[in-house]
Structure 1
Amino acid sequence: MTLSRNLKFAATAATLLMATAGSVRAEDDWIIKNSDASVEQTADKLVAAVEKAGAKVFARVDHAAGARSIDAELADMTLIMFGNPKIGTPILQASPRAGIDLPNRVLIWDEQGQTRVGYLDPAALKARHQVEGADKAFDVMAGALGKLTDVASK
């Protein structure tokens, strides 16, 4: 390779490395972060952060416990459902079908020894349900999900 091509290759590789080095990644409209804590500890931190923020936790679903109940194995996996009517109501008023995806859901799971924290990008939710007129609610939702999952994953 020529020096110019080597430099171009190195720059491209460095850009890709920097883009994937962070703990946040978008995949299939998901935002996924890494946590150094266990699934249970991460879920506990998320629940505490949600409650501290004044939102309501509606459910905590332990998928691995469900698997154990039928004598099956499943890596640790917990779903936290939570919301705030001040944020969700304008979205539901604009598109009632968005109720299938609300309240918000955050999945916390073990992936080969790495705890992951993931949720649907609010922009994808907006597009999926063709919501118009609730831009502020989606902006607030995106900010809240980002902050809450940052707290849980630290």
Structure 2
Amino acid sequence: MKLSAPIPMLKRKARLLARTTQIPLHQALDQVAADEGIAGWSLLAAKAAAVRPAARLFARLVPGDMVLLGARPGQGKTLMGLELAVEAMKSGHRGSFFTLEYTEKEVLDRFRAIGADRQQFGALFELDSSDTISAARIARRMAIPRAAPFWSSTICSCSTRSATIRS
């Protein structure tokens, strides 16, 4: 769902419409939703809430952007990074996961946790859990041409942070 403006701006537009036309706010909200091509404000709000944060973030990225995910342990950095990789792969781009912490089974479990199936992406997904992961290794791996477009989502994961790099 692509809106003409963020939800707060649409609410502001509805408040202004309600004031200028002297109609109830709920009618103005429904009118703004109709202008967006959606039957009512409650449906617009529900659809906007259903879009996952990774999908919203991915929609704003362009090739070459870099996303750095940082938070305390257990806050969802790895899942967010995997969700970004899944969004990239859904768009036909390559996704790579570099980790010093997780085993292949744990990464596959994380895929299931976000409702994705590793098998559906075939060669678009690459897992590297080598003990020799370094910035140079990641740069070399990302420079290898693939049949897929040269846009990739790389996730570097360790116990305190994850980074997503697009190249």
Higher strand share: 1
TM-score, normalised with respect to structure 1: 0.26
**Of the two, which has the highest radius of gyration?**
2
TM-score, normalised with respect to structure 2: 0.25
